[in-house]
Amino acid sequence: MSRIAEHPILGAPEKGRLVTFTYDGRPMQGYEGEPIAMALKAAGVMVHRYTAKRHEPRGIFCAIGRCTDCVMVVDGKPNVRTCMTPLREGMTVQTQDGVTAKVPEGGAPTDGKA
């Protein structure tokens, strides 16, 4: 479990309510208002996207919106920095492949070489 229940200095983290969103079509839970990337990280998701040229996996790198490596397709919009974007109930979050979703909504996964 990668959530810190009680921190020796900070105590218990202050979180919003638990909400459900979809990650590549699967329901997943996280806390409202926390960055999407944190909800994914807590759920064990490491790969946020595959690059356009070399089809290499990328995930969180800077976590403060600078490096743009954590971008995903959020509610149909590509290149959304998940480390900066607050999680909302019912969001659709998809692994990005190049600049499109790797798994089309309601469709079968592509081979990642699209």
Partner 1 sequence: MDRSRDIGPFVPGPDDDLLICRCEEVTKGEIRRAVHAGMWTMTEIRRFLRVGMGLCQGQSCTKLVKGIVARELGVSPATLDPETSRAPMRPTEMHVLGDEKKEA
Partner 2 sequence: MERHDLIVVGAGPSGLSAAIEAAKCGLDVVVFDECARPGGQLFKQIHKFFGSKEHKAKIRGFRIGEELLKEASDAGVQVVLNATVLGLYQEKEVLVRIGDEIRHVKGDAILVATGASENTLAFPGWTLPGVIGAGAAQTMMNLHGVKPGERVLMLGSGNVGLVVSFQLLQAGCEVVALVDAAPRIGGYGVHAAKVARCGVPFYLSHTIVRAEGTDHVTGVVIGEVDKSWQIIPGTEKHFDVDTICVAVGLSPMSQLLTMAGCDMADDPKKGGYVPVCDETGATSVPGIFVSGDVSGIEEASSAMIEGRIAGIAAAKYLGYVEQAAEENEVHALETSLDALRQGMFAPKNRGKDLRETEEGCPISQNLLRKGYLSDEEVFAYPGVRKIAGVHPVIECTQNIPCNPCQDACPKGCITIGENITSLPVVNPDAQCIGCGMCVASCSGQAIFLVDEDAGADTATVTLPYEFLPLPKAGDKGQALSRSGAPLCEAEVAGVRSAPAFDHTNLLTIRVPKAYAMRARFFQPMEGGCAEWANQWTVPETSAPSFRGPMTIC
Applying CB under 8 A, the residues found at the interface with partner 1 are 51-54, 56, 58, 61-62, 66-69, 71, 79
Give the x/- contact pattern for partner 2 in 14-53, rule: CB under 8 A.
-x------------------xx--x--xx---xxx-----
Compute CA distances 59 → 5, 16, 18, 101, 113, whole Å. 24, 24, 23, 15, 18
CA dihedral 108→109→113→114, nearest 10 degrees, is 50
The answer to whether residue 60 forms part of the interface with partner 2 (CB under 8 A) is yes
Could you say which of partner 1, partner 2, none residue 68 binds, taking C-beta under 5 to 8 angstroms by partner kind?
Answer: partner 1
